Structure 1
Amino acid sequence: MEIFIAEHAGYCYGVKRAVDTAIKNLEKNSAKNIYSLGPLIHNDQAVEVLKEKGLKVIKEIADIESGVVIIRSHGVGKSIYDYAEENSISLVDATCPFVKKIQKIVYKMHKSGNNIIIIGDKDHPEIIGINGWCNNSAIIGKSISDFEEIRFNKEKYVVVVQTTMNFKIYEEIKKYLEGKIEDIDFNNTICLATQKRQSSSIELSKKVDAMIVVGGKHSSNTKKLADICMVNCDTYLIETVDDLEIEKISAYNSVGIAAGASTPDFIINEVIKKLSDI
């Protein structure tokens, strides 16, 4: 069996920054409680490692007793910052810079009286956080069908996009909205790391018999990698090496490996080693 690895795989800048920030604070403030508001990143194994180092994961900022709260890579709404300021809670902001950029666009454009459209998954924490910068008033959808029932007026609309959105789907939705709304501005805020991962995974999936996509079960960008690879070859989405279906995979002559932006190197390396042993 030949094994190939996608050119771009594993931690992106924003995720690595969030993990490094957490570790730095855990080491520097060992006597304090260090919290993350929700899982720091969408990878259970990486989060478990941080918990072992002392990180406490909370669901609500009101759950904090005393200490420091790390804002996770997906970001949060403005109300969290307001609450922290009003209650003298110390925040460490590990929001991905690309997500932070979207938040600033939404906040500025909403304050200027524009309607906000977010192309993305309304249940994803990144989108929930972004919507929190326009008083939760955004129109949100991840497919054309999500927008078909909406009546758009003649006011100005500003569009932003989830950082991990499939670029092809974004282009389809953009074309649809352009035909429905007269005054609309688009901001392609899909992160460059996402585009590189998708492009390299597509390229590799065309050359191999099967693809193995490694990443957390809650990771949006990992699921999208699997979706685009499935178009070209048999694709297996796994979280850890234990999920490998060895009997099935052994039948292939060539296998490609891709990994989501929140997948740590140690998990990817375990998968590579297991395949190499076949």
Structure 2
Amino acid sequence: MPEKRPNPPTVRLRRLAAELRRLRAAASLTREEVTERTGINGVTLYRIEKARARPQKRTLLALLELYAASDAQRADLLAVQSGSHDQGWLRPYHSELPEEYTAYIGFEAEARTVRNYESLFVPGLAQTESYARAVIKGVLPTASQIEVDQRVQARIERQAVLAKASPLQLWAIMDEAAVRRLVGGREVMREQTQHLLQLADEPHVTLQVIPFGTGAHAGMTGSFVHMDFPDAQDPELVYVDTPAGDLFLESETEIRRYKSMFEHLQAVALGPGESADLLASVCRSG
């Protein structure tokens, strides 16, 4: 029987890991010193600090004691620990999807704001089912029909975050190439463009397009997603999908760099109204 894949990290688990790293640094302790003084296995401590493992309560208490955490910090992190395993968003078939993708789905489901730049595709949260199926078949030509169906289903289910009571705030910027490329044919693209125009009318969705006439711009290096979360204490996250693998970036330097890049793209893109005009023109010409 194949080994069961561990669940991907949740936002709470990432927050717990970040706070434990910060407390250890504030106590001027190395991981080796923590291991010597607590008896906690070094590999276990590494996995806890990388949000790859949820610490048991007694382990967390030992760390908080060593780090001289305040009563308020103890109460907060114990509450985070007790809910860090919650993955109500996970579907049974998600175990068949790549681990990084299921982690991304989880973070997106818990996010407050998603800022997404796409150079070649319509953003996943804005894709129609027909467009999503054509994209997945094109990008993964060797995928089986079952694999394609699972990915399409996951992509459409993700969009529920835009329809919940407190919807996700989505700011999506696309290069004009994303709306001009005939993915799936003219009818599929006409339906997709109409859907984008409908989304653009939603108060929690902002869509911008960078026209070809802009020339070279910062987004030409590739697509990315920046997320923040309802609790200000939960660390922000940048997700980059590369041919070499998916990356989750969370250092302050990386977050600042991608936030600055997104602000630059906002400035060079057409405004929301002009972007809607361009999409309407594409729809008519399609």
The two structures share one fold, judged by TM-score above 0.5? no
Between structures 1 and 2, the one with greater strand share? 1
TM-score, with length taken from structure 2? 0.28
TM-score, with length taken from structure 1? 0.28
Between structures 1 and 2, the one with greater helix share? 2
Higher RCO by CA contacts (8 Å cutoff, separation 6 or greater): 1
